[in-house]
């Protein structure tokens, strides 16, 4: 699926001349490649694309995309994005943020961006650690993990970013592994086509300070059995033979195998990403390996008014009611006087 291109561009057109400065092997490289490949499919001109970031390793993103960009302050990228999109609704606005930037320092901005449903794509690089400041635990770090700031192991329970976002009213939530660039590219295009806040949680590896934290799920050899790639309108199946599935047992999800204990395709849940009721979406978001496969793809995509859309409608309605259509009209209307 792709937007209607206003102009034909290529990945190279969105590649800046800046030297990419991430550690060798960092998962950010494949995200960058996927974004640069997705942007030509979005169909916007380079000057109509803006990348905004806060602080962290992922916050270097705007330098590497040949478009407008703003490396702003810690946790405040969603606020800058809201202003940018509201001032110029024609722009394609993207935020690059890490789990520390979005979930801790910018937690408040994050939840209000979800609540307001601003039409922005927010890429959440979740490596479950503070990489730029050299390895302190973050709000998504697993309970008990030993880091430089938790030598005895953390005693904080982590956030599930999707659960927090859906609770705050986000209209689009997807999850992707950093090991599959093409899958990311397709989902980034879907995110841009959605009107409202599109949050994409990227399970990103930080080989320096939290290496292999997602490997059980994201490595190619683990993908079939440890991920479930959800597709709207399709049964929730996974496994090398696609013979395992999810069904509801009371108020809980359970894994079943086709052909065992009388289980047939008719028992398997059909994924409805567009259901306004978030109950099953939240259950899918909370699934964790090894008890469950980790849910990937578009988990929630619902229609809701956007903040920037409603704001534009209010301005247009007020302009229609006003005696003057613009400031120039008002200044030149004759109601002027000289102050001596």
Residue ranges in contact with ligand SF4 by CB under 6 A: 22-23, 26, 28, 57, 127, 131-132, 206-209
Burial of 314 (0-12, 13-18, 19+ CB in 10 A): exposed
Start-end of H helices in the chain: 28-42, 61-64, 77-87, 99-100, 107-116, 161-167, 181-193, 215-218, 220-226, 279-286, 307-321, 327-331
CB of 58 to ligand SF4, least distance (A): 7
Of residues 208 and 258, the one with the C-beta less far from ligand SF4: 208
- Indicate the residue among 22 and 173 with the shorter CB distance to ligand SF4: 22
Q: Which is nearer to ligand SF4, 114 or 124 (CB)?
A: 124
> In the complex, what is the shortest distance from the CB of residue 144 to ligand SF4, in angstroms, rounded to a whole number?
21
For residue 257 the two structure tokens come to: 């195998």
Q: Give 138 or 227: the residue with its C-beta nearer to ligand SF4.
A: 138
Question: What is the closest distance, in whole angstroms, from the C-beta atom of residue 161 to ligand SF4 in the complex?
Answer: 16
- Rounded least distance, CB 69 to ligand SF4, Å: 18
CB of 79 to ligand SF4, least distance (A): 24
Nearer to ligand SF4, 117 or 127 (CB): 127
CA distance 167 to 184: 24
Residue environment code for 247-270, b if the CB has 16+ CB neighbours within 10 A, otherwise e: beeeeebebbebeeeebeeeebbe
DSSP three-state, residue 297? strand
When the beta carbons of 72 and 138 are compared against ligand SF4, the nearer one is 138
Query: How far apart are alpha carbons 129 and 210 in whole angstroms?
Result: 7
Token pair of 210, please? 């939290």
CA 191 to chain centre: 8
In angstroms, give the least distance from the CB of 190 to ligand SF4. Answer: 25
Query: Please, what is the minimum distance in Å from the beta carbon of residue 40 to ligand SF4?
Result: 26
Q: Which residues, in sequence order, are CB contacts of 283 under 8 Å at separation 6+?
A: 252, 253
Which CB atom, from 209 or from 307, has the smaller least distance to ligand SF4? 209
∠ Cα 256 257 263 (to 5°): 80
Nearer to ligand SF4, 168 or 208 (CB): 208
**What's the closest the beta carbon of residue 24 comes to ligand SF4, in angstroms?**
8
In DSSP notation, 204-256 reads: ---TTTSTTTTHHHHSHHHHHHHEEEE-TTSB-EESTTS-EEEEEETTEEEEE
């Amino acid at each position: 699926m792709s937007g209607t291109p206003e102009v034909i561009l290529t990945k190279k057109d969105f590649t800046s001349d800046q030297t990419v400065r991430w550690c060798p092997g960092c998962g950010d490289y494949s995200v960058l490649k996927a974004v640069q490949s997705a942007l030509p499919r979005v169909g916007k001109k380079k000057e109509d694309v803006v990348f905004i970031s806060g602080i962290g390793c992922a916050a270097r993103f705007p330098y590497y995309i040949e478009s407008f960009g703003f490396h702003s302050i810690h946790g405040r990228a969603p606020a800058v994005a809201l202003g940018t999109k509201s001032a110029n609704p024609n722009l394609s606005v993207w935020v690059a943020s890490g789990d520390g930037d979005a979930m801790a320092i910018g937690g408040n901005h994050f939840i209000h961006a979800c609540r307001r449903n601003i039409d922005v794509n927010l890429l959440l690089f979740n490596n479950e650690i503070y990489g730029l400041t050299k390895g302190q635990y973050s709000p998504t770090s697993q309970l008990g993990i030993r880091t430089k700031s938790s030598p005895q192991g953390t005693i904080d329970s982590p956030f599930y970013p999707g659960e927090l976002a859906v609770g705050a009213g986000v209209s689009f939530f997807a999850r992707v592994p950093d090991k599959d660039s093409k899958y990311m590219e397709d989902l980034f295009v879907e995110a841009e086509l959605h009107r409202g806040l599109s949050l994409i949680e990227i399970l990103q590896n930080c080989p320096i300070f939290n290496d292999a934290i997602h490997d059980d799920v994201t490595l190619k050899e683990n993908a079939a059995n440890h991920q479930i790639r959800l597709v709207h309108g399709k049964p929730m199946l996974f496994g090398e033979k696609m013979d395992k599935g999810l069904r509801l047992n009371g108020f809980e999800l359970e894994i079943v195998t086709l052909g065992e204990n009388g289980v047939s395709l008719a028992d398997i849940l059909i994924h409805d990403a567009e259901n306004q009721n978030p109950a099953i979406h939240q259950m899918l978001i909370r699934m964790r390996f090894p008890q469950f496969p980790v849910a990937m793809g578009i988990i929630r995509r619902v229609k809701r008014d956007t903040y920037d859309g409603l704001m534009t409608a209010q301005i247009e309605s007020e302009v229609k009611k006003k005696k003057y259509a613009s400031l120039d009209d008002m200044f030149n209307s004759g109601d002027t006087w000289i102050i001596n």
